[in-house]
Structure 1
């Protein structure tokens, strides 16, 4: 049995099942991995083996990116997925931090490097005739090394929702373990078709998408996510499995519903960060199973939904997952609720999600000792995510540590307020965050996107909020901005720090203000 990605890929070298479908072209696993082997041989022929063999990719979801991933696995070197939404000095900083010797890109992304100083990094246009000649002349692959389970397969940068991206070292074992686990959970076979529309430079696409296809021999359909094209793609390619991260389910659900939406081949959607409402509605509308869990790029904390998971909860944590007070370094007491479900003891129950056993599969951020020291404290891994846990062990997210608000002497977390607002049927997406107020410390602000064709009036919002028995009066948003869209990362996560930096403004949308200590918006 394979013990790493390299061995897993070798099991597919003579597999004549379909591996990749893109446009009108398709590759068998034999053809796909032959091309990957040639690329690995060409890469290794041109690197300095006395230095870390790190190869960057500035590529979209394409056969070229899939080939680069398989090449790194077979060749035994480290692939560094560079976020294609990064620009200028930020992009250069990521390449330098990862200590890339080569940067593989294509005609679409090559213009992003104009005027960018990458030092001595060699840039390779994988669409160029020159690279095709190098591949043809590369000869047989002699791997850099025989891979060990805990060797780094990829460096994957965090999304950057709460600061500059950090390069997470993702081990072969983690990719292998995730792929095999999901194949077993959802009974994925070579007859399945995996829809890879989340960015392949991000951990979700690697461990919940690509790894599933490699572990099962299923077909991969790489593409750029499009809500309007989603169902057509599923039907065209016979997609049976998809992974997601962030808010793509909400984007799809915002498109007009048709009577025949459930007439499709999709069996399973697996991912994280979807709301309870979106999970239920996506499952109903498209006739598939939706399984949502909690995970981060670091893969240090794993929380899984189980049968009976209460509304709003993300599930129960695996061994070592706990909620700690960062100041006292003690475990937070269980959350207590009133008869309406409102959290009564936020001050003591809300804390930071930690792994008390250490880093788990987290092997550290590459070339970033300060970030590693911040994550690993007191022998535990500190996630930066706020949460609380009830007496039965069910965990509820409360946001990031930056989402903690102090409103008129009361501590509030963004997560519970967002979950309440998501009950409003007109809303498609919601982000709750703090804006500074010289009198009360923070004010609650909500940025919302309406479902297509929906309208919302101040009176409707006021009536809805008044009907929510678990919403504290201080948690009523003081400001509400309505926009056609919200700033987001490449992985569909709302950039709250950008919203916070904009302050009390709608940035071209509509802004409502609640009267001070009142309940009316205007």
Structure 2
């Protein structure tokens, strides 16, 4: 492990002259030396093409191809910052992400050019990695060598998007020093080493793949195997092909792998560890039984302000033990919430008082948001870091995740803002009012539910969704409640808490779109059982998520 390097640039430069295989993707393989050389060439190109009077920010709109880590390395060497652009965003929202982070160069590929069609992106230069002119653009810099001497730990390195309740994602900042430190921490925690191979099947525009997968590989000199896009059916063949020993995941990825046809040789694989979030205790246990691979669930706010580490002895459903400074507070009184109490089956009994917001009262590595001082102030209230996430804590100090404090949804590992989806659905001709909120997914995360006050034609609504250019691939409502009148509070605001609490079991008709289908049909009692899934595991977060604070059987 390289314990001396304090910047990502130093970690990139350290691989110069290392001719071991270091990066694989499909049929392409690069040595560590070739990765360092490729990063150096791109860094030299950046020095020539980035305007000197602009922020040194580049957008990367790529699948997980070798170009993505090469441009990350280039940005580190050039003291530039990368904004990972989410290809599930559409239209004006996609343009907003690029313009907000002040990117003057966008690195992309032909497959994503259609997303940029008709967008107003003044002053933006495109570099398309799979077009003929790309190799010509890089050719003059082929002899460049990585020089990390000017990089500092404080250099801005990542601007990665997190969802906000107002509908506009915030660009969280991550410096070279913080990413290098995160890589060292994870490598040490999981005893990762030079001979490991990290399988990156989660998208690299997310922090999970870069911080939890790529960074520790840089620190140790491990190899990295990329999957262009996650594929459950190719997961085990990829792992065997590349000799992968470690992988990261988010959301329902683990469930998708478990849904593949079991084989007698499933345990014949080189993996020893998976690290991520939201797999759930039941699926984690099933994964270990089937593949012989332990999954470690962790929690870390995207902004880096708080983290909870799993350790041996952590109860099922818990994330880990609270580190010094981490407390669960009542947001109104600022008082610590009392410990959680469970019944004999492990179901939470005192959610009303035990659930509060996770707050870091100790030192925080949070580095802020790009051009969003209001959001920074919200995070740093009272001199503490407020995560925006709900937790409860048992008598032994173990923490359990219980949801989010604002109108955010997490669908298949993607954070979405309800307000954004509401703005799109409000265009539907039959809608007098629209509210969007989360209902629990049967396995992990959320499903999108909308209440529409007005008239509803299921066929017309499905056609309407297909016609919206800015409706991202995760945004279409799985459930639509049709109400004669939108419930409101005493101050005439939409009563979102009541809508969430009633969920699918409401008096109004609910239409739904079964997985894999585009057409909506009325939700029946039999459908309801399928949509809500099997009973939730005990002592986990599921019984309290998204249905107020009362225990619930799914």
TM-score scaled by length of structure 1 = 0.79
Residue 69 of structure 1 corresponds to which residue in structure 2? 72
Cα separation, 2, equivalents of 1:291 and 1:23: 27
Query: C-alpha offsets along residues 249-302 of structure 1, whole Å, 9 cap, x if unaligned?
Result: 111111222221111111111111210011111111111121111123111110
Query: C-alpha offsets along residues 366-387 of structure 1, whole Å, 9 cap, x if unaligned?
Result: 0112222222211111111111
Residue 28 of structure 2 corresponds to which residue in structure 1? 25
Asked if structure 2 preserves the Cα contact closer than 8 Å seen for 1:150 and 1:172, the reply is yes
Cα separation, 1, equivalents of 2:353 and 2:522: 33
1:115 counterpart = 2:118 = yes
In the TM superposition, 1:51-450 aligns within 5 A as: 51-138=54-141, 140=144, 146-158=150-162, 163-223=167-227, 224-357=229-362, 360-402=364-406, 428=443, 431=446, 441-442=498-499, 444=501
SS in 1 for 2:333: coil
Structure 1 residue 36: deviation in Å?
1.2
**Number of equivalenced pairs:** 453
> Are the structure 2 counterparts of residues 505 and 43 from structure 1 closer, same or farther at C-alpha, using a change threshold of 3 Å?
farther
Asked if structure 2 preserves the Cα contact closer than 8 Å seen for 1:193 and 1:220, the reply is yes
SS in 2 for 1:175: helix
Structure 1 residue 505: deviation in Å?
6.4
Show structure 2 runs of 5+ residues with no match.
409-436, 452-485, 489-494, 533-552
Query: C-alpha offsets along residues 133-178 of structure 1, whole Å, 9 cap, x if unaligned?
Result: 2211136368697222232211111256984321110121221122
Cα separation, 1, equivalents of 2:407 and 2:163: 17
> Are the structure 2 counterparts of residues 443 and 373 from structure 1 closer, same or farther at C-alpha, using a change threshold of 3 Å?
closer
Show structure 1 runs of 5+ residues with no match.
405-413, 448-473, 488-501, 515-520
> Are the structure 2 counterparts of residues 428 and 482 from structure 1 closer, same or farther at C-alpha, using a change threshold of 3 Å?
farther
> Are the structure 2 counterparts of residues 337 and 25 from structure 1 closer, same or farther at C-alpha, using a change threshold of 3 Å?
closer
Cα separation, 2, equivalents of 1:275 and 1:446: 21
SS in 1 for 2:232: coil
Query: C-alpha offsets along residues 340-379 of structure 1, whole Å, 9 cap, x if unaligned?
Result: 4333332222111111136x12111101122222222111
1:510 counterpart = 2:510 = no
Residue 411 of structure 1 corresponds to which residue in structure 2? none
Asked if structure 2 preserves the Cα contact closer than 8 Å seen for 1:20 and 1:28, the reply is yes
Residue 541 of structure 2 corresponds to which residue in structure 1? none
SS in 1 for 2:23: strand
Structure 1 residue 441: deviation in Å?
3.2
Asked if structure 2 preserves the Cα contact closer than 8 Å seen for 1:321 and 1:356, the reply is yes
Cα separation, 1, equivalents of 2:284 and 2:94: 34
Cα separation, 2, equivalents of 1:144 and 1:213: 18
Cα separation, 2, equivalents of 1:441 and 1:17: 58
Cα separation, 1, equivalents of 2:390 and 2:65: 36
Asked if structure 2 preserves the Cα contact closer than 8 Å seen for 1:38 and 1:141, the reply is yes
> Are the structure 2 counterparts of residues 73 and 294 from structure 1 closer, same or farther at C-alpha, using a change threshold of 3 Å?
same
SS in 1 for 2:218: helix
Cα separation, 2, equivalents of 1:218 and 1:234: 15
Residue 492 of structure 1 corresponds to which residue in structure 2? none
Structure 1 residue 316: deviation in Å?
1.4
Query: C-alpha offsets along residues 399-447 of structure 1, whole Å, 9 cap, x if unaligned?
Result: 111479xxxxxxxxx99x96xxx9xxxx655748997868993464668
Asked if structure 2 preserves the Cα contact closer than 8 Å seen for 1:332 and 1:350, the reply is yes
Task: Select 2:515's aligned residue among 484, 490, 497.
Answer: 484
Asked if structure 1 preserves the Cα contact closer than 8 Å seen for 2:155 and 2:176, the reply is yes
Asked if structure 2 preserves the Cα contact closer than 8 Å seen for 1:294 and 1:314, the reply is yes
Cα separation, 2, equivalents of 1:67 and 1:216: 17
Asked if structure 2 preserves the Cα contact closer than 8 Å seen for 1:168 and 1:364, the reply is yes
Cα separation, 1, equivalents of 2:116 and 2:407: 35
Cα separation, 2, equivalents of 1:39 and 1:165: 28
Structure 1 residue 29: deviation in Å?
0.9
SS in 2 for 1:242: strand
Asked if structure 1 preserves the Cα contact closer than 8 Å seen for 2:252 and 2:443, the reply is no
Asked if structure 1 preserves the Cα contact closer than 8 Å seen for 2:357 and 2:389, the reply is yes
Cα separation, 2, equivalents of 1:175 and 1:486: 40
SS in 2 for 1:388: strand
> Are the structure 2 counterparts of residues 194 and 445 from structure 1 closer, same or farther at C-alpha, using a change threshold of 3 Å?
farther
Asked if structure 2 preserves the Cα contact closer than 8 Å seen for 1:242 and 1:269, the reply is yes
Cα separation, 2, equivalents of 1:486 and 1:245: 24
Residue 34 of structure 1 corresponds to which residue in structure 2? 37
SS in 2 for 1:108: helix
Structure 1 residue 336: deviation in Å?
2.5
SS in 1 for 2:160: strand
> Are the structure 2 counterparts of residues 140 and 260 from structure 1 closer, same or farther at C-alpha, using a change threshold of 3 Å?
closer
Asked if structure 1 preserves the Cα contact closer than 8 Å seen for 2:280 and 2:444, the reply is no
